[in-house]
Amino acid sequence: MSYARSRLLLGMLGVGLLVLTSFYCLIKQVPLKWLPGTEVWSGSDLIALATVFGGLITILLPLDLLGGYLLPNRAGPKPILWRRFVIGWVRGVGFQGCFFLLASLLILALGRWQGLLAVSCGIIALGFLLIAFQLKLGGLIGGFQQVTGLSTSDRDRMDAATRQTVAWGWKPRDLILLTHQDPGFTGGVVGIPGFEKVVVPDTALLRLSSDELAATLARRFEAIEDGSRARGILVAFFWVVLGFNLSAFLPGAGVTSVGGLAMTCLGFTLWTFIGLLTLPTLSRQASFAIDKRVLGRGVAPESLHRSVRKFDELQDDEPERPAVIEAIFHPVPSVIRRQGQTGTGPPLAWHVARMTLFLSWACMGTLARAVHCNVGRPELWVMYPSD
């Protein structure tokens, strides 16, 4: 079995386990039996929330071990040291657990104060902070370091790629070069719309030629300029806030007690699962459309396709996959499909599927780090792989 297929099965196992567990606990109303139901602050609230998140960590631990250590060491030529894995995992779980705990306390406080409307505003505010400080949060959890000094050859390659994108007609953007350990790290676009920065992995300077790097930058510049990245964020916000509000109206759910909030989160897990099945279509459509646009503005097809292939090799190295598998599980289209697809219509919502998972942090989304692309890989819990 290939590494890509084994990761897919692991992601299916993780997501399926959480979805089925959530469905069972929702039907049986387990949180209402085991967690505090009072709407008055007490020390038991904090203990109960910490216990819930501890249970989530325990459920995901064997999956993290498989996805972050055993499978990569079985497939990759460069072994992952046990000590490095443990340190990275503890750091990632610790920061995410603290964020989830603070977010749940904020939701409880707002819910007890002014109800669901105040909670919705709080989730939007938290999501805005997640977008604004995604790079910093990624550094805390993934251990990224910004590269400040480049060799002469690397600097020349970066400058040449930037000049080429300007010649094609794109506006120059702030570029951030990050060191990383996980080969699947692709960088991407961070920051609130209007203040975006483009993140490039330092390995791109080793793997990509100037024209391939220029093609990569051009795609990300285009996602910013055509508004598809901003639209992806807006759709992600809408999906998260709508799903949490709908979940809060389920029987026994609410935002004023720990038990009720846990019921809401169980419903939100099922809603997130629906998003995992539907939103990748929007992400793929935007990928194809952006490819078509950059080719139309002068990017050579050979340069674009080589850059896409090299990034795929650094991730799961699966240039071709069955159409049904891709339609359900992969928001980033395969290399072969991108070579043969011309794209139709404008790019609607770039990177929306994985941006939705990231924004689900604002309401304790349990599936945010259980999908096949990032299970067990803390460097990809905040900066999800993108095209």
Q: What is the dihedral of CA 127, 387, 336, 72, to 10 degrees?
A: -90
**What SS3 class is residue 183?**
coil
Residue with tokens 């080589």: 306
Q: What is the pLDDT of residues 85-102, one digit of tens each?
A: 999 999 999 999 999 999
Q: What is the pLDDT of residues 239-262, one digit of tens each?
A: 999 999 999 999 999 999 999 999
pTM of the model: 0.95
What is residue 342's predicted lDDT score, i.e. its pLDDT? Answer: 67
Cα distance between residue 58 and residue 196, in whole Å: 36
Cα distance between residue 368 and residue 276, in whole Å: 10
pLDDT band at 79 (very low <50, low <70, confident <90, very high): confident
* Contact by Cβ (8 Å): 55, 96: no
What is residue 151's predicted lDDT score, i.e. its pLDDT? Answer: 81
| Sequence-ordered list of residues with C-beta below 8 angstroms from that of 90, at least 6 positions apart, any chain | none
pLDDT band at 148 (very low <50, low <70, confident <90, very high): confident
Q: Is the dihedral of CA 378, 383, 384, 386 positive or negative?
A: negative
What is residue 315's predicted lDDT score, i.e. its pLDDT? Answer: 80
Question: Residue 386: pLDDT above 70?
Answer: yes
Instruction: Compute the average pLDDT of residues 355-378.
Output: 96
Instruction: Compute the average pLDDT of residues 339-365.
Output: 90
Q: Which residues of 14-42 are buried (b: 16+ CB within 10 A; e: fewer)?
A: bbeebbebbeebbeebbbbeebbeeeeee
Q: Which two tokens stand for residue 124?
A: 């939007």
| Sequence-ordered list of residues with C-beta below 8 angstroms from that of 289, at least 6 positions apart, any chain | 228, 343, 344, 345, 346, 347, 348
Q: What is the dihedral of CA 28, 31, 34, 37, to 10 degrees?
A: -120
Any idea how long the chain is? 387
Cα distance between residue 31 and residue 41, in whole Å: 17
Question: Residue 329: pLDDT above 80?
Answer: yes
Q: Which helix (H) or strand (E) holds 339?
A: helix 335-340
More confident residue, 353 or 329: 353
Cα distance between residue 301 and residue 309, in whole Å: 12
Q: Which helix (H) or strand (E) holds 189?
A: strand 188-190
More confident residue, 387 or 77: 387
Q: What is the pLDDT of residues 203-239, one digit of tens each?
A: 888 888 999 999 999 999 999 999 999 999 999 999 9
pLDDT band at 25 (very low <50, low <70, confident <90, very high): very high
What is residue 77's predicted lDDT score, i.e. its pLDDT? Answer: 67
Environment class of residue 225 by beta-carbon count within 10 Å: exposed (0-12), middle (13-18) or buried (19+)?
middle
Question: Residue 290: pLDDT above 80?
Answer: yes
Question: Residue 268: pLDDT above 90?
Answer: yes
* Contact by Cβ (8 Å): 240, 362: yes
**What SS3 class is residue 238?**
helix
Q: What is the pLDDT of residues 98-128, one digit of tens each?
A: 999 999 999 999 999 999 999 999 999 999 9
Question: Residue 336: pLDDT above 70?
Answer: yes
Question: Residue 58: pLDDT above 70?
Answer: yes
Instruction: Name the percent of the chain lying above pLDDT 90.
Output: 80
Q: What is the CA radius of gyration of the chain?
A: 21
Instruction: Compute the average pLDDT of residues 169-183.
Output: 91
In whole numbers, what is the pLDDT of the chain averaged over residues?
93
Q: Which helix (H) or strand (E) holds 145?
A: strand 145-146
Question: Residue 341: pLDDT above 80?
Answer: no
| Sequence-ordered list of residues with C-beta below 8 angstroms from that of 175, at least 6 positions apart, any chain | 158, 162, 197, 198, 200, 217
Question: Residue 150: pLDDT above 90?
Answer: no
Instruction: Give CB contacts under 8 A, 24+ apart, made by 275-281.
Output: 275/239, 275/243, 275/353, 275/356, 276/15, 276/353, 276/367, 276/371, 277/328, 279/235, 279/239, 279/331, 279/352, 279/353, 279/356, 280/327, 280/328, 280/329, 280/330, 280/331, 280/353, 281/327
Q: Is the dihedral of CA 36, 114, 127, 334 positive or negative?
A: positive
